[in-house]
Amino acid sequence: MRLVLASNNAKKLAELKALFAPLPLEIVAQGSLGVAEAEEPHHTFIENALAKARHAARATGGAAIADDSGLCVDALGGQPGVASAHFADVVLPVGEREVQRRVQDEANNALLLQRLQGRPDRRAKFVSTLVAIRSADDPEPLVAVGRWQGEILAAPRGAGGFGYDPLMFIPALGKSVADLDAATKNAHSHRALAAAQMLALMHESWHLG
């Protein structure tokens, strides 16, 4: 069964291919099929993930899966939430995408620390919402949510990862996400938790595996 990933992110594609390896699925990125990115106008992860999945399914005429994820901080009422990737309003330099992402990440982290200054509650979670549908009009989307609990540090720690990883401390592991090796991160992450749920849902509802 072919499953179109509603993303053009090569790292996300590779990660999901590995996570869904137990099932008889061929996961392909929508970009390889000439499908453009969908709009993400909603205020919740589930609405944006469903919109992206329906967009990909409608454009390709088959099954699709989408992920919408971000950081939710308790003291900020769940912000930055769906706006995690563009939390800070910053002018990006012209050039390579990786350079732009690094500038945006640094600005996002600086703004997060600013907003949390003087606040004793540092609890936060990384959230991943996966939505899979058999067709654009599927009345029964499969929905899986993974939540990775942690705390926001007072300063960045660790040289790995990206985004908010240097600020997200995982008490259960005693390290920031940026201090974790790739295998450990992929085994415990919010996306891994969501993928495990989705595997079970696909097995039960779609009779895969």
Tokens of 192: 């891994």
End-to-end alpha carbon distance in the chain: 11
> Is there a domain that residue 91 lies in?
yes
From the candidates 68, 105, 165, 179, which is the catalytic residue? 68
Is 205 a domain residue? no
**Residue 136: other Cβ atoms inside 10 A:** 17
123 within domain boundaries = yes
What's the domain count of the chain? 1
pLDDT for 166-182, tens place per residue? 999 999 999 999 999 98
Domain presence at residue 202: no
| Domain of residue 150, CATH code | 3.90.950.10
Mind listing the pLDDT tens digit for each residue in 46-105? 999 999 999 999 999 999 999 999 999 999 999 999 999 999 999 888 888 788 888 999
The answer to whether residue 90 is domain-embedded is yes
Domain of 157 in residue numbering reads as 2-197
pLDDT (tens digit per residue) in 36-48: 888 888 999 999 9
Per-residue pLDDT reduced to its tens digit, 102-146 = 899 999 999 999 999 999 999 999 999 999 999 999 999 999 999
- CB within 8 Å of 73: residues ≥ 6 apart: 79, 80, 112, 116, 123, 124, 152
Q: Compute CA distances 61 → 4, 50, 51, 114, whole Å.
A: 10, 16, 15, 46
pLDDT at res. 190: 95
Q: Is residue 11 a part of any domain in this protein? A: yes
Token pair 């450990």 is found at 184
Active-site residue 68, yes or no?
A: yes
- Domain-located, residue 208: no
Residue 10 scores a pLDDT above 90: no
Report pTM. 0.91
Q: How many CB atoms lie within 10 A of CB 125?
A: 18
